[in-house]
Structure 1
């Protein structure tokens, strides 16, 4: 198994006494996912709460990858997780990519540290080698299930003498290392769930801390890493709450001061079902591709998960940091309503449009999106000019949920200027020229911001001056002049979306065509 001094003796000082953390106790928190796939909303929420806690207390946010189960590691997942944290605006200050004083930040690269830690526990008698075969363990499990009992290891190898262990090792027998659980478990105060105590030795057998392949289990690796990385607070999913007493026993065996623990309630679907990795819409990368803004995801997962004096839509990251209070995190599960994402995005997109600097970025993004969607159809490339694209954003703010909505078929008329023969307008109404002049006069008088409601009323009143053309015929004529299409949004909505100048230009072109 290669146990020994390969780690350079970093842990050796703890064998006979207390080993202090490598840092004093400033706030240092970590997000420690397994790189088994894309980052999903549950993981993002855990990362975000750690980030908010760190920034609230002028601390450090660390990304550590727990990849000790090599059979489940997905190539590229580690890089993808860090990419998505950076995209979301909550980048770690120490990580596999960033490096840092506690490097490496990937558990598969820290095996020497775990081996030395196990050697210390073996020397103390706090751990022992287990030679039970997988067949025997499976038999124990079947017998327990047949007796309607919870399967547990019977601690058989705990009682092997040093001589028996040496004989089995000399014979080349495969083994794992188990931690010797104790009945005396002290209660701990969880930051969210309050006082807890789980006497794990009475309900389960001694846990494996080092597997036969030389890789540690979560129980050992997270304790060793949290200590050596100076982690002051552990905010993790509540599924680990019952294991915390076990981890505290490990801290006691090493004579280390444990961090403070806080366990986050589950994040569930609105109907109370678990978020499933088969749900494509829970992955951060998928939501980013679908046009959702980073701040939308952060706002959404905190809005449903408490931690604040009130729940309101539209918080920025700066506001989240300022208002966050870990003591306000409630114990019940957080229900995530994915259907509300569009409304969250509408609010945050509107805020970006109203910000001059952020609007510049949106203009560039929209220009690229229009080019990609309609590049071959853009006979008149004036629609890509900054002033026009910016006008579209300002006129449509609050009406769209995502920037990509503006390049959907519904809004194709914004970018494709029609070429409509004058004769075609006259086949709809012999009064085409008169209608055009009246509408142009109406648009000239629109000095204030156009609204669909007011413009609809104005068009109704204008039609009363045209005796030979019904209202439906007038709308068909104007829609054709504005978009070149017989169907689409209402004429009033088109005019508002285009703005008076662009709408007037299109009508003039049609009258002259």
Structure 2
């Protein structure tokens, strides 16, 4: 199927050209993982074919708008690394990119449909429509408009308009819908006139409905391919009737299978646990989220963990997208984040950004507790990241209580150490004697060996108790990384100081 797409958009040189796709969310809620996935597939498709990725805000349902969500959606696309080429913020050649600012276009299209007889004015009151709905439900039928105002003569319509009666404009659905080829679901055809009443395309408030607005905008913005959720598949025949009535060539359609919860339930904007802003605040990397939401679905030569955006673009093949819904297991996200975080820590070009982020977070969380500014030094932060790489799932982990010892010195009463071993002073002297001549570049392996070798001089205390005593002196914790790891992380000088403080307190 993809070969067909490419042939339609090839230049004489064979280069794919003219591909324009759009992500068109409604700013009635903040961006969630389902929306991110739709945006990502559009972005990847555009980059794969050297095309343009458009963000358009479909805000014609004024009653459901949530203030700030439009700006937040674009912020989150920027954060995720899939910024649009054209958008409300960036502008572009076919703007504006917000439907509430394009009303004149929809009214022109509506007038065209009214003049051709493809649309008509409807004066049915909300009360009558509610009665129709209740009657259908009582009869166990699907509610639908009965097309009553189709029968109005031109004179009757004119009289009602002169009386300034409230009205909407409906599109006249016709029998004989032509099949269309979906790039994912194959040949499709929905005889909408047999199951639906004529749909409203222009509401009484002067704003268009989704069906008219998306058709007009996709045409005016020269959208070549519409990649959207499979829930819109059944509406596509209706949209194709609108294209035909307006005399416009439709784009090609590709309906993406749904992204569902692990239990098969639909993701919702109202689920706080799937909102992008929440993931960002929790310390998840955008690269991990992009990898995660593509890994659970289809459309790539293979599914493997650890892919970055460039690899996703390279491996994408729309013909590989199946019609099976993708199931999202959020419990696996932490592992994806650990992999991408480790990669960024290892990268000399990416690590400085992590260092700056961690410096800012440490200062914000611990504030006045940071008695020693050295813990904010770049070299120290880098050492922490490199030594804990693979042990942490996100930078936020390093701000948890179990890692507080990394940033602030613990207060450990001498009595606690003596309760572990009566030889606390002797153990402290031996270990400090071991550490004081050491350089900053200790290794865990070397220290483990040397700590083991000290055991012969601590005949009154078992090795496990020695480690327990040292861990408590270094971190104030009963559990955590090995003592050798702590010493390497803190450095010999700081380790000595903490042990000295603990035994003399």
Partner of 1:287: 279
Q: Deviations for 1:271-291, whole angstroms, at most 9, x for unmatched residues?
A: 111223342120001110111
Q: 2:342 aligns with which of 350, 353, 362?
A: 350
1: distance between equivalents of 2:389 and 2:492?
17
1: distance between equivalents of 2:17 and 2:146?
39
2: distance between equivalents of 1:346 and 1:140?
56
Partner of 2:7: none
Partner of 2:12: none
2: distance between equivalents of 1:114 and 1:499?
68
1: distance between equivalents of 2:112 and 2:267?
40
Partner of 1:211: 203
1: distance between equivalents of 2:251 and 2:157?
34
**What secondary structure sits across from 1:479 in the alignment?**
helix
Matched, 1:105 2:97: yes
Q: Deviations for 1:155-208, whole angstroms, at most 9, x for unmatched residues?
A: 111121111111111122211111111111111110110110011011111111
Q: TM-score, normalised by structure 2?
A: 0.90
Question: In the superposition, relative to structure 1, how do residues 423 and 187 fare at CA in structure 2: closer, same or farther (>3 Å)?
Answer: closer
Q: Deviations for 1:242-283, whole angstroms, at most 9, x for unmatched residues?
A: 010010011011111100001011111111112233421200
Q: 2:43 aligns with which of 44, 51, 57?
A: 51
- Structure 1 portions without partners, runs of 5+: 1-23
Q: Deviations for 1:407-439, whole angstroms, at most 9, x for unmatched residues?
A: 211011111134668898567545345433544
- Structure 2 portions without partners, runs of 5+: 1-15
Matched, 1:385 2:372: no
Partner of 1:41: 33
Q: TM-score, normalised by structure 1?
A: 0.89
1:244-263 aligned at under 5 Å gives the runs: 244-263=236-255
Matched, 1:435 2:444: no
**What secondary structure sits across from 1:356 in the alignment?**
coil
1: distance between equivalents of 2:299 and 2:450?
49
Question: In the superposition, relative to structure 1, how do residues 202 and 381 fare at CA in structure 2: closer, same or farther (>3 Å)?
Answer: same
- How far did 1:305 drift? 1.8
2: distance between equivalents of 1:499 and 1:303?
40
Q: 1:487 aligns with which of 445, 462, 478?
A: 478
- How far did 1:133 drift? 1.3
Q: Deviations for 1:473-500, whole angstroms, at most 9, x for unmatched residues?
A: 32343123312x2534254353354355
* More displaced 10-residue stretch of structure 1: 485-494 or 99-108: 485-494
- How far did 1:381 drift? 1.9
Matched, 1:311 2:303: yes
1: distance between equivalents of 2:426 and 2:415?
14
Question: In the superposition, relative to structure 1, how do residues 183 and 419 fare at CA in structure 2: closer, same or farther (>3 Å)?
Answer: closer
Partner of 2:114: 122
2: distance between equivalents of 1:371 and 1:149?
63
2: distance between equivalents of 1:207 and 1:424?
77
Aligned residues: 487
CA contact (8 A) 2:137 2:143 kept: yes
Matched, 1:91 2:83: yes
* More displaced 10-residue stretch of structure 1: 169-178 or 59-68: 169-178
CA contact (8 A) 2:414 2:503 kept: yes
2: distance between equivalents of 1:480 and 1:284?
39
CA contact (8 A) 1:141 1:152 kept: yes
Partner of 1:16: none
Partner of 1:330: 322
